[in-house]
Amino acid sequence: MSEDWLEYLRKVASPTDRSRPAYVYPVTDEVTNTRLQQQDPNKHTLEQALFSAMLQDAWRVAIDFGCGTGAHFFLFDGHEHRKNLLIGIDPDCKRVEWARQVAEYRLQFVQSHILCGGIELLEHTPKRLKADVVLCSQVLGHVSENQTRRIIKGFHRILAKNGRCGIAIPIVGAQFKENPQAGDWSGKEDYPHLVHMSKSPSDHDFRCYITIDEFNKAAEQPEPGLLPVRSFIVPNFPNLATIKLPYLLDVPPPTIGQLISPFFRVEKCAIYSIHKDPGSPVFPVGDMFIQLRKK
Ligand SMILES: C[S@@+](CC[C@H](N)C(=O)[O-])C[C@H]1O[C@@H](n2cnc3c(N)ncnc32)[C@H](O)[C@@H]1O
């Protein structure tokens, strides 16, 4: 199957959909990692442990969708994966160049092929080409509602029977309404906002609430330094004083749950990070891992 894939991937080495406007992710990894160090230094370790556990089941072809600079590529490597193929996809071509270098220098065993593009690449792939596993880390919180629908459908299309998918998304609880950064947010639906990366997480305007329509536009064409984020609301967010991470939940956030249910069974939902803004009370803002199995 890998050979068949490689032959196809060589043909689509450049973006297939030229009508798509060039996309540039608005922040560098250096900036996001600095913020992360302030908010939750353990986030990457737990995130990677959850993805890694999902990759323990046998696989031959894997896709890292929205791979960015390839921060998760090493999770796919290992001598037992000598014959396996990892496909990285990201619409920001500069980040793809970086990811290609990461693949070249860090991956010893698994074969890799990194493409610049988006969901259209999976929508146009010949039906015979299937993947066993898709990883999608911190992408769905930064794309428009339309893209989210297409991406979930695209994952279902590309996955083989029983294929699995791991996604990581930002989450929020209703209690965040008490934070000045919540602005006019109702506390009853997802919290779309812009993160001003040049500010400190404790500044009142580090996160600014925007409407979902404004978010959809900002996500298609982000401005440098302003990261559009849609945090998915988790009803009955657990009490942060008593939980230990990762914290398992029975169901994903409702908006994601609705999109997923026609295509996937939910195997695991876990809150794995809580962002503690320095100098602010601990609010329910964090990240969730969701493991899915194709229906
Ligand atoms: C927060 S970064 C996550 C990168 C990587 N997955 C990780 O966890 O380190 C979000 C990534 O999503 C990519 N992205 C943005 N819009 C996308 C879209 N419509 N389809 C696929 N990827 C997208 C960005 O270019 C960026 O690299």
pLDDT tens-digit series, residues 236-267: 999 988 999 999 999 999 999 999 999 999 99
How many domains are contained in the chain? 1
pLDDT for 165: 98
| Ligand 1 center from residue 3 Cα (angstroms) | 27
Distance of CA 247 to the CA centre of its chain: 19
Closest residue by CA, ligand 1 atom 18:
118
For 18, 33, 36, the CA distances from 41, given in Å and listed in that order, are 39, 9, 6
Q: Which of 139, 140, 165 to mutate to test the pocket of ligand 1 (most atoms within 8 A of CB)?
A: 139
- Specify whether the CB–CB gap between 89 and 99 falls below 8 A: no
Token digits of residue 202: 């404790």
pLDDT exceeds 80 at position 6: yes
Closest residue by CA, ligand 1 atom 20:
118
pLDDT for 220: 95
pLDDT for 189: 97
Closest residue by CA, ligand 1 atom 4:
68
Token digits of residue 79: 């001598």
| Ligand 1 center from residue 138 Cα (angstroms) | 7
Please state whether the predicted TM-score (pTM) of the whole model is above 0.85. Answer: yes
Give the pLDDT confidence of 136-193 residue by residue, as tens digits: 999 999 999 999 999 999 999 999 999 999 999 999 999 999 999 999 999 999 999 9
**How is 109-127 classified by DSSP, letter by letter?**
SSEEEEEE--HHHHHSS-T
What mean pLDDT, rounded, does the chain reach?
A: 94
Both ends of the chain: CA-CA distance in Å? 22
**Nearest-atom index, ligand 1, CA of 25:** 25
- Specify whether the CB–CB gap between 86 and 104 falls below 8 A: no
pLDDT for 16: 47
CATH of the domain at 281: 3.40.50.150
Q: Which domain holds residue 216?
A: 2-294
SS3 at position 208:
strand
pLDDT for 282: 83
Average pLDDT over every residue of 221-242: 95
pLDDT exceeds 90 at position 227: yes
| Ligand 1 center from residue 174 Cα (angstroms) | 26
